[in-house]
Amino acid sequence: MATSKSVLFVCLGNICRSPIAEAVFRKQATDKGVANDWCIDSGATSNWNEGSSPDARGIACLRKHGIETDHSARQVTQDDFQSYDYMLCMDESNLSDLNKKASKVKNCKAKVELLGSYDPQKVLIIRDPYYGSDQDFETVYEQCVRCCNAFLEANS
């Protein structure tokens, strides 16, 4: 069966927040039996980390919660704006960068939003944990669980 819905999670470097969100959403969709209905990926607004694995602290956080990822960082492309239904980003800077890029794309179909706009606890911004602690990665994980679950519910 062909996938009918698509989501791209986006942050600055695609090694911390967006791969965590991607892995969390994939697990939630799998657990609900709807993973085959979705094309799920993540990307970066920058090209700094292309080809890199997610941050080791993010991988450790995911593993602690029984989630694996084999993601390699990539930059968002113009094609992504035409092929994804949703581009869910982490903060105002990502949102601004994506909206600038989207304005230059013909036939942009992607709905660009903050992932935090789905948070039942109304925490809009998912802060970059890169210069932070393991607890900061745990906070990102918890936010992603809440937001991804609400997004999945809204799109089931």
Indicate which residue of 41, 61, 128, 147 is catalytic: 128
Indicate which residue of 17, 26, 57, 146 is catalytic: 17
Domains and CATH numbers, the chain: 5-154 (3.40.50.2300)
SS3 103: coil
Share of the chain above pLDDT 70, in %: 98
Instruction: Tell me if residue 97 is catalytic.
Output: no
pLDDT of residue 84: 98
Instruction: Tell me if residue 57 is catalytic.
Output: no
DSSP 17-56: HHHHHHHHHHHHHHHTT-GGGEEEEEEESSSTTTTPPPPH
pLDDT tens for 63-89 read 999 999 999 999 999 999 999 999 999
Q: What is the mean pLDDT of residues 115-120?
A: 98
* Residue 122: both structure tokens together: 């109304």
Confidence of residue 3 (pLDDT cuts 50, 70, 90): low
Confidence of residue 156 (pLDDT cuts 50, 70, 90): confident
What whole-number distance in Å separates Cα of residue 76 and Cα of residue 84? 11
What whole-number distance in Å separates Cα of residue 104 and Cα of residue 99? 9
Region of residue 87 (left: phi > 0; alpha: psi -120 to 50; beta: else) = beta
CB-CB contact of 18 with 11 (8 Å): yes
Instruction: Tell me if residue 148 is catalytic.
Output: no
